[in-house]
Structure 1
């Protein structure tokens, strides 16, 4: 159950009616306060399970690897109390480039949302998005605290990253699904903590998700297969290699799910 702000309920309903045959219609018609106990939220339960697993490792000396994969912040934009109330929409600073709207994206559905819901809708979107971020921040804190209690905090490689960002009103759009390649979608966090190997620093080299495998293999003392596409980030973070030797660019292509077939579809490819 989702409680929608009555100030733009009419606009949300209109979008829902227009997109009723689209699979993403509920993503916008369910944007608001999630009426669900915090303990029943998926990401809180994921943190619960991760903490439970870490606590079980307190009495083990064996190497371990845990993937803790959260869903938020992500559409549909809903968040429960107390996170929904944490950010006043009237006090939220809107993106400076929200009015820089390239015409080629004018019919993009992520642009239509902003156009129909207006500034009030954008503020509500950001209020919920920030609430989701704070919720995840708290869950990450719980996981790190559980890891610290094992006594193996400094002996563990910690990676925090994600697969994509969100336009968050930038260029008059929201969500990830645009035909664009803006920084709002592509410039995402990649934080690695391993005090045995790395000193605190900030790197500006171009990376992508394929770099994680060879980097973790290197840190685990394992050989990296020559066929691996990604770059090993360790030499750049330890100073063994100059950042000018790193990949200078990355790329992206749109792939459409094709669950009935063996191949993916590149919708923008001619032929």
Structure 2
């Protein structure tokens, strides 16, 4: 981060530049300096999402195993809240250094003609559902509803400054940057430019999708070989097993979330009634039609995003 700031402070050219920062905060291990910890008001930290026994048993097997391995389900509320406080403090530390970086761009005189995109690759349980860290094939909003901030360069679009609940996918970021910079696709892509959202549209995608996990004959995807000494053993021990690490795909709109799980029971959540996703209602006959429609939309999505035809023929010999 500091190196990038120095580059911008010294830069006086007029050629386009690109800076990509892959940052580790916030990320396990959960630790942070007191300076940042003290900035978090403990009274404003949301309560952890805690499952009762019946709710736990209706969650995927990989979550059940991680809960057993980590032991966070035996922590009291105060300790779980403190874990969240540390996590938020790590995010605050990151915010500070991102602020320094943006200030360096401003000092260089290039802020107005710079496109800035801030996003995360995934979220973190941070004690919710009795789990910490991430997981590859579960899709609660605490993992999949990630930060995404876009500041266009001047003249690219006419942005409406706001937060929005528009449903988007991270694959849309690439399409957005290409479109705003006049870059033509040279192969079929499935992202959609976010320019309409930046200009005020709140209806963008009807559904969003997330995929993860593996099939039985892909042990190379299990990240095996870790011992109990590893900070990630609690999760990786479960990833090495089936059906825990089953391939799965999630479909979500603004009301419902459905997860198709290849080797075990599916999940379904009514997000209006159950925004914390504690009650898996996959066997509730009230939702049979809705689940059927979402399954059909998954099928359409998988077909549409399967093999595609290249734009150009291979060279002839």
- Could you tell me the TM-score, scaled by structure 1's length? 0.69
Question: Structure 1 92/204 Cα, relative in aligned 2: closer, same or farther at 3 Å?
Answer: closer
Question: Structure 1 110/155 Cα, relative in aligned 2: closer, same or farther at 3 Å?
Answer: farther
Deviation at 1:190, TM superposition (A): 0.8
Q: Mapping of 1:98-177 within 5 angstroms? A: 98-99=50-51, 101-105=55-59, 107-110=64-67, 112-177=70-135
The residue number in structure 1 matching 2:10 is 56
Q: Distance in 2 between matches of 1:143 and 1:160?
A: 12
The residue number in structure 2 matching 1:69 is 22
The residue number in structure 2 matching 1:268 is 246
Question: Structure 1 120/236 Cα, relative in aligned 2: closer, same or farther at 3 Å?
Answer: closer
Local SS of the residue matching 2:146: coil
5+ long unaligned stretches in structure 2 = 215-220, 226-239, 248-261, 264-317
Choose the corresponding residue for 1:200, options 132, 140, 161: 161
5+ long unaligned stretches in structure 1 = 1-46
Between structures 1 and 2, the one with greater helix share: 1
Question: Structure 1 251/52 Cα, relative in aligned 2: closer, same or farther at 3 Å?
Answer: same
Deviation at 1:88, TM superposition (A): 6.2
Local SS of the residue matching 1:164: coil
Choose the corresponding residue for 1:217, options 175, 178, 192: 178
Q: Distance in 2 between matches of 1:94 and 1:190?
A: 21
Q: Give the total of aligned pairs.
A: 217
Deviation at 1:114, TM superposition (A): 1.8
Q: Distance in 2 between matches of 1:51 and 1:161?
A: 19
Contact 1:218-1:232 at 8 Å conserved across structures: yes
Contact 1:94-1:169 at 8 Å conserved across structures: no
Give the aligned CA root-mean-square deviation in angstroms.
Answer: 2.9
Q: Distance in 2 between matches of 1:233 and 1:87?
A: 33
Deviation at 1:238, TM superposition (A): 3.1
Deviation at 1:189, TM superposition (A): 1.0
The residue number in structure 1 matching 2:287 is none
Q: Which runs of 4+ in 1 moved over 4 A?
A: 242-245, 257-260
